[in-house]
Structure 1
Amino acid sequence: MAANPKSSALFSFGVPALFVWLWSTGFIGAKYGLPYAEPFTLLAIRMLITISLLSCLAWVLKARWPGWRSAGHLAVTGLLVHGCYLGGVYHAIDGGMPSGIVSLIVGLQPLVTSAVAIMVLNEKIVPRQWLGLVLGLVGIFLVLLEKFAADESQGGFPAWTLIWAALSLAGISLGTVYQKRRGTTADLVSGALIQFTAAATLFTIGAFTLETREVEWAPPLIFSMAWLVFGVSIGAILLLMWLIRRGAASQVASLFYLVPPVTALEAYLLFGERLGLLAMAGGTLSIVSVALVVVRPPTKAIG
């Protein structure tokens, strides 16, 4: 029986939209949680809770476990996608870099991923997709332009935080391509569990060697931790792995263009940050850019 075209289209757009929303809330959760715990400590606790829950889920679902070689590839992906990306973002924000600028730097990921995908995966990027990538980059600049101006008027941020932001960008870009090439045949649950275990090891080592590990269990931290675990670490990451498995790495990467405008809207609703005309124009451009990169033109029937 042929699939319902309307259901297929709704599923094709609904899953990426859900992923973008869940992923964008990670910045909000970090903003709530970081005042009460240091970055590596906060991330280590988050990973350990996530590992416990995923272990139960893997047992219930009787997840298929990969061999040692595949597990090694998954661990590398976890160190890149979770370890480098999250560690970089959290340390950059904790060091004084505004979350809007962190989002902008990480928002360069589609261009970096596309370049790596061309070199490593031999993916073909058509002119329409390149146009979408460029428009998305312009859209991000428009969304965050007002925050750039406000941050500069307040004295800017420490230059060393750029190192953490660059590490985050490199991690998520290389991790996306590596997952596409090496980790797509593994069970989603067991694969995510291995990735989180690798990241948890990195964060735990960082917490014990670089931080005091003091935690203030205030209500905002408890709420943010719960959301970061269930909404982002489990919900968004499993969706990301599923999307990478089904689509080209460059197409999945283009979804990250939508994160800054969605985050800006959430910041407006939660913190009262105003959305100007530039921000709304940038959000529109970002949506158009995703359509150009992700949506494939219909093929003509032969005969």
Structure 2
Amino acid sequence: MSDFARNLDWNLLYTFMVVVQNDSMTKAAEELLRSQPAVSLAVKRLEQSTGKRLLIRKGNRIAVSPAGQALYEQATEIYSAISRLPLTFEKAPRALTGKIRIASIDHVESSVFNQRLARFFCEYPSVELEILVATTAEVIRMVELGSATFGLCDGVIPQSLNSTTLLDERFGLYCGSDYHLAGRTDLAAIDLRGEPFIGFTADVLGGSHMGDVTAFRARASIGQYVRGQSSHVNEVRRMIECGLGIGFLPVHLADPYAEKGDLFRLPPYENEPSATVFLIANPAVSLSEAEQILVEEMQRETAMK
């Protein structure tokens, strides 16, 4: 066993972990900036090192074997521990220092969050902050791996993560002011079927993060033809405004553009879909003192609102 640990190449383990997370050799190669044959060879070398079949190839698809699943779970724990190592080297001076890394979906608007963040960095001015904007799946993944202090996202949150509700966003259906449906207030859901749709990257019919908006689309048979998509609110709004199709936007962000005449609000005008945005954290990750303080304060604040 000691020989195995000494001879194991961490790069092979990391490559295997990325392959499993992407469920694809090709996508893993893109993320790792390597060729697909190089990624495939790395997995083969790891299988030779472990003496176990880790992946089962079925045509263009891959499945993880029981041994591969066990190795993957251990690899993610190892990666999480390694990613946090620099934090264990920090000495805790009287003036709290460190770095907070927040992963968030685009355009989360919360006065509760903003006020708590402002108070924290006013109290601890030596602490640094980095905010990364990503998709729901990417935010969850970063929190799981410990590469983010905590995350802000919607979607289906894994049970292994702690989550508290930050806010609920109402969504309205919009089109551009020059779109052929603009100005029509007599429309029913059936009139919207077949219209090209502009959506968010995570809003996929049958996807892993289906929410109220996706369910509404499915019930009304809207958005079967997705013409454009982005994980950024402003880019989704831009495509809708330019007339590429219809799409859902957070009401509080889109209505100012509707008031200016750049967008037009389509039905439904009542019982519109909504999305819950959560603050998520990984209880299994060892946080720095600064991170621990902010996470606890944020969780307490959001639970009390």
TM-score (norm 1): 0.26
Query: Comparing both structures, which one devotes a greater share of its residues to strand?
Result: 2
* Greater RCO, CA 8 A, separation 6+: 1
TM-score (norm 2): 0.26
Structure whose alpha-carbon radius of gyration is higher: 2
